[in-house]
A and B are shown apart, each in its own frame.
Chain A
Amino acid sequence: MKIFKNFVIIFLLMTINNINANEKSERNEITKNLRCLICQGQSVYDSDSDFANSMKILVDKKLDEGLSEKEIYIYFKEKYGDWILYDPGLNKNTYLLWLLPILIFLFGGAIIAKSFILKK
């Protein structure tokens, strides 16, 4: 019985640890996708500037308030614009970025179809 009790305690301790780690990794995941606007070429996660540190605290706060990852991105996008996100959405400045691979794929497919399938 005593062994069983010990097991339960150890198990509980381990799960608590796990929960903490999960929270932190969610925050890290989000801050890796946010650009530190006052540093060059760094994410909020990488940077140790005043701005980035405040952002990290705010992301924690928003997670505590129960916002999902997507909602947090939308929240920051409203405040700072598209530039804060590393993953750009489809808009008039980025349509080429999104459509070019598809066009190249179709063009290449057409060449292959022409030279191999139609020749037969």
Chain B
Amino acid sequence: MKKKLIPYSIILTFLIIFAVFYKSLKDTNIYTPETKINNDIPIFSADLLLLNENSNSTEIFELDKFYLLNIWASWCVPCRDEHPILMRLSKNNKLNIIGINYKDNKKNAKSFLDELGNPYEKIIVDKNGTNSIEWGAFGVPETFIIYNNKIIKKYIGPLNNELLLEIQKIIK
């Protein structure tokens, strides 16, 4: 009995080790954020760029409407790349585009919009980056699709033509 027990336990140990390593072989070390979430939008109040007034989340986001929230900054190069796509989306009547101006200065933000056009209905000023963190953002650029005060989709990084089609499909 004792003679059999030792080889069996060795085999069992190796099997467990094999299983653990085999399982973790498939997992990536690199953190990939979840893009499909169903979180409620944060409650906040913030200044608006261009309008010089204060607003809050319930004023900006109404129910039963699709919103696209885009985090951008004038110093962010990928934001420049995705800007034509936002301009195209802004022509769609079903979608309201809201911007968050991330850690930017007002003058640069304004000249960015003068140069490339302004797709945003309202722009929230996020001077110290805390508003973006409350949204669960990582940096710029980042885009959220919001419906009924819930974040239904999140895109990290610049938008491209493929994502443009996907967004148009979602809001149909």
B134 within 8 Å of A (CB atoms): yes
A37 near B33 with CB under 8 A, answer yes
Q: B164 at the A/B interface (Cβ < 8 Å)?
A: no
Interface members, chain A 46-63 (any B CB < 8 Å): 50-51, 53-55, 57-58, 61
Assess whether A38 is in contact with B39, with CB atoms less than 8 Å apart: no
Q: A78 with B39: in contact, given A38-B138, A54-B133, A58-B133 (CB under 8 Å)?
A: yes
| A86 interface residue (CB < 8 Å to B) | no
Taken together as a complex, chains A and B put the C-alpha atoms of A53 and B127 apart, in Å, by: 12
In-complex Cβ contact of A80 among B20, B33, B130 (8 A): B33
A66 within 8 A of B: no
Residues 116-157 of chain B, each 1 if its beta carbon lies under 8 Å from chain A, else 0: 000000000000111011111011000000000000000000
Question: Does A79 interact with chain B (Cβ within 8 Å)?
Answer: yes
Number of chain A residues close to chain B: CB under 8 A? 16
Q: How big is chain B's contact interface, by range?
A: 10 to 19
Question: Does chain A have a CB within 8 A of B34?
Answer: yes
Chain A 77-99 interface mask (CB, 8 Å, partner B; 1/0): 01111010000000000001000
Q: Is B103 an interface residue (CB 8 A)?
A: yes
Among A53, A55, A61, A83, point to the contact of B31 (Cβ < 8 A).
A83
Whether the pair B139, A61 counts as a contact (CB closer than 8 A) is no
Q: Determine the distance from Cα of A53 to Cα of B138 in the docked complex, in whole angstroms.
A: 12
B139 interface neighbour in A51, A80, A96, Cβ under 8 Å: A51
Q: A79 touching B129 by the CB < 8 A rule?
A: no
Asked if B136 and A54 sit within 8 Å, CB to CB, the answer is no
Q: Bound state CA distance, A65 and B84, in angstroms?
A: 40
14 A-B pairs (CB sep. < 8 Å):
A37-B31, A37-B138, A50-B103, A50-B129, A50-B139, A51-B133, A53-B128, A54-B128, A54-B130, A54-B132, A55-B133, A58-B134, A61-B130, A80-B136
Q: A55-B133, A80-B136 are in contact. List 19 more A-B contacts (CB 8 A).
A: A37-B31, A37-B33, A37-B138, A50-B103, A51-B129, A51-B133, A51-B139, A54-B128, A54-B129, A54-B132, A54-B133, A57-B128, A58-B130, A58-B133, A79-B39, A79-B133, A79-B136, A81-B34, A96-B20
